[in-house]
Chain A
């Protein structure tokens, strides 16, 4: 399917769930979905044969402090049809929570742990939500734009 056909199909199939969908100048289809329909959209995107987005390439988050939101970004790729879609969800910056897609794509297990570690987004229903890069007892979320580590002080014995 071409990108425009894919966009039209998504617009019709998920009419009320999708906030916006557009084909960017870089030839990518970006779909912004409401957070309550995120899980169902993802599972349908994987399971329906016209989409068959079997491969979750990348799951990450972008911090927009001025608009007071953290956007969760999923990049999906279909081996069967060789097309790609980007799914975005906007989350409030104060307490970002979203259901996990771990049961849809297993690769999301670690990718979501990384987003939790670096941005502080809580994934409901995740089997093992722990920090992955930073030490277990680290308190801050490094990739947020307002992060400052107060210097790194090694106390002498």
Chain B
């Protein structure tokens, strides 16, 4: 038993009224902590007194590894930082290196990157919807989400040959141009998908049991959210406008029309609605990108060995499916980064879990954790 567990048990035994508080270990192997996250929960009957996340079960020292790899070699590792939205992390890293070098990818590559990142956002939110429903006991949306995800992954497989870890968005552009069949297949998927969102909404959104489980549960006040570093749909559920695509536009997000999905109450239901709205907005963004694709090169001309001048550094942020994904790179004149740090949204989003679940029930931990859309490889790297 670790010291943490022992100290929790002692705290429980010394509690003022001598009630039998007991400490339960949720995980690291658990069907619903979305990976190997361990939660040490101190319970009084069914009521949660304290939740302590224990991290590090998926720590693969990606940052240390990247210090020993050249910049293009690092891109494969970025896939594994968040394998559910691998395209976004690929792009975050490539964007950061492009800022360091001062190169810009050609226009067609930028449009293609936008299409891929938005498709990835839809795919990630579908997986989230499935696992969120599954945590609450509604097992059917998971299968529907997977059905749609298959079609998106088919598009990705057509483009770069991979289904989960793509290594597609490279420094200076993308790996390879899309096939001619991509555009009509993508358009037909978008038409098919728009109607499906209504199907999911009818299954979950106004279901009385779902509303009871998620309304008013896990409310993040806006100031608390900002102070605790929560970003992404989790913060937008509280009504804070924090979309990096609007605040610090990158790619061509300032040239396409889309609305930022904002919630009102800051509870699990608002976060759920924000993500469902984001899926619909992504469909519209992809349509606009497909309309504006022009033929052209997909890679910028770069030297064979990318050397970043010494003394340079950059912190570039993008809006990945979970929130703000930042990459901090320090260059030292060689082909390998001196320091590479991934600022992942899930790391901060998991931190607020303790504050949100005190005084609630054990089942609410699952609801809140699911609504934060947390991915453990992002937390541990």
Judged by a CB distance under 8 angstroms, whether A9 is at the interface is no
Contact B55 A133 (CB under 8 A): yes
Contact A107 B229 (CB under 8 A): yes
Binds A, one of B84-92, B164-172, B309-317, B357-365: B309-317
Return chain A residues, CB-CB under 8 Å to B295: none
Of the candidates A25, A82, A106, A143, the one whose C-beta lies within 8 Å of that of B227 is A106
* Given A82-B247, A134-B59, 12 more pairs with CB closer than 8 A: A25-B102, A26-B99, A28-B313, A55-B229, A57-B317, A60-B341, A75-B315, A75-B326, A79-B241, A107-B228, A136-B4, A143-B64
Return chain A residues, CB-CB under 8 Å to B351: 106-107, 109-110
Q: How far is the CA of A28 from the CA of B314 in the complex (A)?
A: 7
Judged by a CB distance under 8 angstroms, whether B380 is at the interface is yes
Judged by a CB distance under 8 angstroms, whether A21 is at the interface is no
Judged by a CB distance under 8 angstroms, whether B253 is at the interface is no
- Shortest Cβ distance from B99 into A: residue: A26
**Given A86-B315, A110-B347; A58-B228 close (CB under 8 Å):** no
Q: List, sorted by A's number, 15 A–B pairs whose CB atoms are closer than 8 Å.
A: A25-B102, A26-B100, A28-B314, A30-B313, A57-B324, A58-B326, A58-B341, A62-B338, A63-B339, A86-B315, A107-B348, A109-B351, A110-B348, A133-B55, A136-B4
Q: How far is the CA of A30 from the CA of B315 in the complex (A)?
A: 11
Contact A55 B226 (CB under 8 A): yes
Taking the nearest CB of chain B, how far is it from the CB of A21, in angstroms? 14
Contact B248 A82 (CB under 8 A): yes
Q: How far is the CA of A73 from the CA of B351 in the complex (A)?
A: 20
Judged by a CB distance under 8 angstroms, whether B28 is at the interface is no
Taking the nearest CB of chain A, how far is it from the CB of B307, in angstroms? 15
Q: How far is the CA of A24 from the CA of B328 in the complex (A)?
A: 14
Q: Which of A56, A84, A110, A136 has the most CB of B within 10 A?
A: A110
| Those of A57-112 within 8 Å (CB) of chain B | 57-58, 60, 62-63, 73, 75, 77, 79, 82, 84, 86, 105-107, 109-111
Q: How far is the CA of A77 from the CA of B315 in the complex (A)?
A: 11
Contact B343 A142 (CB under 8 A): no
Q: How far is the CA of A107 from the CA of B61 in the complex (A)?
A: 21
Taking the nearest CB of chain B, how far is it from the CB of A103, in angstroms? 10
Judged by a CB distance under 8 angstroms, whether B16 is at the interface is no
Interface string of B337-371 (1 = CB under 8 A from A): 01101010001100100000000000000000000
Of the candidates A28, A131, A143, the one whose C-beta lies within 8 Å of that of B315 is A28
B residues lining the A interface (CB < 8 Å): 2-4, 55-56, 59, 61, 63-64, 99-100, 102, 224, 226-229, 231, 240-242, 247-248, 312-315, 317, 324, 326, 328, 330, 338-339, 341, 343, 347-348, 351, 380
Judged by a CB distance under 8 angstroms, whether A132 is at the interface is yes
Of the candidates A75, A84, A109, A110, the one whose C-beta lies within 8 Å of that of B328 is A75
Return chain A residues, CB-CB under 8 Å to B380: 133
Q: How far is the CA of A107 from the CA of B225 in the complex (A)?
A: 9
Taking the nearest CB of chain A, how far is it from the CB of B146, in angstroms? 31
Taking the nearest CB of chain B, how far is it from the CB of A65, in angstroms? 11
Q: How far is the CA of A28 from the CA of B99 in the complex (A)?
A: 11
**Given A79-B240, A136-B4; A26-B314 close (CB under 8 Å):** yes
Judged by a CB distance under 8 angstroms, whether A151 is at the interface is no
Taking the nearest CB of chain B, how far is it from the CB of A55, in angstroms? 6
Taking the nearest CB of chain A, how far is it from the CB of B123, in angstroms? 26
Taking the nearest CB of chain B, how far is it from the CB of A56, in angstroms? 6
Q: How far is the CA of A105 from the CA of B225 in the complex (A)?
A: 11
Q: How far is the CA of A57 from the CA of B2 in the complex (A)?
A: 31
**Given A82-B248, A106-B227, A107-B228; A135-B328 close (CB under 8 Å):** no
Taking the nearest CB of chain A, how far is it from the CB of B376, in angstroms? 12
Contact A57 B343 (CB under 8 A): yes
**Given A62-B339, A75-B315; A57-B326 close (CB under 8 Å):** yes
Return chain B residues, CB-CB under 8 Å to A79: 226, 240-242, 247
Return chain A residues, CB-CB under 8 Å to B339: 60, 62-63
Judged by a CB distance under 8 angstroms, whether A54 is at the interface is yes
Taking the nearest CB of chain A, how far is it from the CB of B9, in angstroms? 16
Return chain A residues, CB-CB under 8 Å to B326: 57-58, 75
Return chain B residues, CB-CB under 8 Å to A58: 315, 326, 328, 341, 343
Contact B56 A134 (CB under 8 A): yes
Contact A24 B227 (CB under 8 A): no
Taking the nearest CB of chain A, how far is it from the CB of B257, in angstroms? 20
Q: Which of B224, B227, B229, B314 has the most CB of A within 10 A?
A: B229
Taking the nearest CB of chain A, how far is it from the CB of B28, in angstroms? 13
Q: How far is the CA of A101 from the CA of B271 in the complex (A)?
A: 29
- Shortest Cβ distance from A132 into B: residue: B55
